[in-house]
Structure 1
Amino acid sequence: MELLIETVKKLKATGTAIIFSSHNMKNVAEVSDQLLMLVNGNQRLYGPIDEIRSRFGKTKIYLEGVFDNLLIEELPGMMAIDDDYPGKVITFDSELHVKQAMDQARHLPSLRGYRLLPATLDDIFRLTIKGEVDSHE
């Protein structure tokens, strides 16, 4: 697969138009400028990847440091915690909860850094598919 991705990148650099179909959102993000997402044969998303990502907001934060005084599991709206040494990526249900968590974390002396993270294409894919499933229930 790596050879295919490198070949697509080289062709893209020469200005060649490429239609690339994949369920692997990491590969899609790596080689694509635009995205067309079909769900059950219907168009759900279309446009520049950066524009699509911005529509989904920033519901993740990366915190770097030691968080003994911050009970991450008790933060409002917290949905998932992933280790990403030397910190943690925390997913929330809304940008409001991300901002509240950031305000709390900023006051921790052990915080070495933080940043808001845009939605990944995997996140967007899951949310879009979930919306399709929810609408059929």
Structure 2
Amino acid sequence: MLQLNQVSKFYNNHTAVEKLSFEVQSGQIFGLLGPNGAGKTTTIRMICGILHPDEGEIFFLNQHISSELQARIGYLPEERGLYKKMKVAEILLYFARLKGQEASVAKEKISYWLKRFDIQDWREKKIEELSKGMQQKVQFISVVLHEPDLLILDEPFSGLDPINSELILDAILELKAAGKTLLFSTHRMEQVEKICDNIVLIHNGKKVLGGKVLEVKAAYGKNTLQVDFEGNDSFIDELVLSGSVAVSERHPKSVELRLLGSTTLKTLLPFINERTELRRAELALPSLKDIFIMQVEGARHKPIS
């Protein structure tokens, strides 16, 4: 569906993207990950034809990316691109017509999606009258109306509460089930683990790692210990001070630890059990959040508490 081959983009003395290569297969959800300033948005804008690469090639549907192919891409930018004085139904029809969709077909789809997202009562309201969450839902609808082959979603859950996040997530999974291909850029690692098939992590414009989500996690081994307990949690600080573990996530009755050096579950369990009421201890693959931070910081064993 999409291929980037040694793509680079330069701004004066700054390299935004450097020799970036990856492939997105048809029908998958692909995660484009990286910290702020990593080059994700620049990469997306090159795919969409907003920017042009200074080096390398981009292929979409086995053709060089071109303006003729833009109608087959839907792009949800992180920054909202809605005209505030236009009404909801009006702006959605406008965007659908820009992509070449017949007005009668577009109006049917607009009614469907407004009802689906429970904002049909706002169809005659101006964009500026909507909350940020409602605006995000309208922008999402504008991207899917013309049924593009590739949907590019940059932080699609931005500004959404948990209920509306689930609405968008359900829609994304339905689009995938219908055979659509999605390129998904986000900082929310828990969403990536739920829905992405493959990922690429970029940092300072360069590819750091990539592949299938499970394979990426498996490459780090089962070095994550998930512990549920009742009582005193001071044992966590003792373990960190000893250099045995790093803390990934910490809560009043649970903690996720990354085992360091030669530390094993067998050596930790008696120590923990003597100091608190242990309810559960399970070795697991590291989370993408852990892997993300380890790679970006360049410090595999640095605590993440």
Within a 5 Å distance, the mapping from 1:14-93 to structure 2 comes to: 14-66=178-230, 71-75=235-239, 76=242, 77-80=244-247, 82-83=250-251, 87-93=253-259
- Cα distance, 1:47 vs. partner? 0.6
Could you tell me which runs of 5 or more consecutive residues in structure 1 were left unpaired when the two chains were aligned.
133-137
Could you say what secondary structure the match of 1:119 adopts?
coil
Check the 8 A contact 2:235/2:272 in 1, yes or no. no
Letter in 2 for 1:97: T
List runs of 5+ in structure 2 lacking aligned partners: 1-156, 158-164, 300-305
How many pairs does the alignment contain? 130
CA separation in 1, counterparts of 2:191 and 2:173? 11
* Higher Cα Rg, which structure: 2
Q: Which amino acid aligns with 1:16?
A: K
- State the one-letter code of the partner of 1:117: A
Change (3 A) 1:114 1:66: same
TM-score (norm 1): 0.74
| TM-score of the superposed pair, with normalisation by structure 2 | 0.37
Aligned equivalents of 2:225, 2:182: Cα separation in 1: 33
**1:59 Cα shift?**
3.2
Q: Do the aligned residues in 1 keep the contact of 2:235 with 2:275 (CA within 8 Å)?
A: no
Moved more, 123-132 or 107-116: 107-116
* Deviation of 1:33 (Å): 0.7
Distance in 1, Cα, partners of 2:283 & 2:296? 24
Moved over 6 A (4+): 106-109
Instruction: Map 1:88-127 onto structure 2 (within 5 A).
Output: 88-94=254-260, 96-99=262-265, 100-102=267-269, 104-105=271-272, 110-127=277-294
Using CA pairs under 8 Å that are at least 6 residues apart, name the structure with larger relative contact order, 1 or 2.
1
Please give the alpha-carbon distance, in whole angstroms, between the structure 2 residues aligned to 1:95 and 1:33. Answer: 31
Output the aligned Cα RMSD: 2.9
Residue type matched to 1:4 in 2?
Answer: I
Deviation at 1:79, TM superposition (A): 2.3
User: Residues of 2 paired with 1:73 and 1:35: CA distance?
Assistant: 34
Percent identity for Structure 1 against Structure 2: 23
Offset from partner CA, 1:97-132 (integer Å, 9 cap, x none): 242213544688943322113211111111110118
